[in-house]
Amino acid sequence: MDIALLGGTGDIGEGLTLRWASDSPHDVIVGSRDPERAKTKAREYETELDSRGLDEVSITGLENAAAAERADVVVTAVPAYHLTDAVEGIADALEPDDVLVSPAVGMKRDEDGFHYNRPGAGSVTRLAADAAPEAVPVVGAFHNLAAGRLSNLDTDLDWDTVVVGDERDAKDTVIELAEAIDGLRALDGGPLANAAEIEGLTPLLINIARHNDGMHDLGVKFQ
């Protein structure tokens, strides 16, 4: 399966790229608005994996629309305020059998800490669905992952990610991809209407991490 990460040069994009490239048989494509930046980061990721003995892994770097056109699953690893533009920019490259995945969370910060910034659409994942072509299923996942730990291949993961979406097959695809990452368990959170509850956990985790020593890479595990 081909996975494109739009914004694959950023923190969460880097972590997902490295984990899928090292842990799974899937082909990973790094997307960026700047194709040269995408190629440069793809080479950097390959160098990191090569240093760990994974010298046969190949990561491609492309402009976002070209990356989406080649992929079966497109992950919009971009900030929430760029999400709608990013999805609209690749809309013509998406096919009905593709899956669009949104890990974005809207947050605002004040003197007390970070807070969930719920959009008028109800959730950031709903914003992605509203911007995507009607026939393309949208799934929310990977919202609560600490990017630093995710991208550090010297650390083991022991996290859950909650997956929400309205189309069963699309959600199953994302659950399978999530669990291809060692130490990551995917849990079905129900339909896309439940995305806000999942997205709202992220600022809580950041606030806990800020106020408690040794918890800067905090994740979620349901037991």
pLDDT in tens, 78-88: 999 999 999 99
Report CA torsion sign: 67, 70, 74, 75: negative
How many Cα atoms sit within 13 Å of 133 on the Cβ side? Answer: 13
Q: What is the pTM of this model?
A: 0.96
Dump pLDDT digits (tens) for 99-132: 999 999 999 999 999 999 999 999 999 999 999 9
Residue 216 has pLDDT above 90, yes or no: no
Identify which of 54, 68, 61 has the alpha carbon closest to the alpha carbon of residue 25.
54
Residue 70 has pLDDT above 90, yes or no: yes
Identify which of 138, 148, 131 has the alpha carbon closest to the alpha carbon of residue 195.
138
Cα 168 to Cα 139, 163, 177, 188: the distances in Å are: 10, 11, 14, 10
DSSP 193: G
Least confident of 4-8, 55-59, 101-105: 55-59
- Assess contact for 24 and 50: CB atoms under 8 A: no
Judged by DSSP in three states, 172 sits in helix
What phi and psi values does residue 116 have, to the nearest 5 degrees? -70, 130
Dump pLDDT digits (tens) for 162-212: 999 999 999 999 999 999 999 999 999 999 999 999 999 999 999 999 999
Judged by DSSP in three states, 100 sits in strand
49-62 mean pLDDT: 93
Domain spanning 2-211, CATH architecture: 3-Layer(aba) Sandwich (3.40)
* Greatest pairwise CA separation for the chain in angstroms: 48
Contacts of 211 (CB under 8 A, 6+ apart): none
Measured distance CA(220)–CA(139) in Å, rounded? 19
Residue 56 has pLDDT above 90, yes or no: no
What ranges do the domains of the chain cover?
2-211
pLDDT given at position 23: 96
Higher pLDDT residue, 139 or 214?
Answer: 139
pLDDT given at position 217: 87
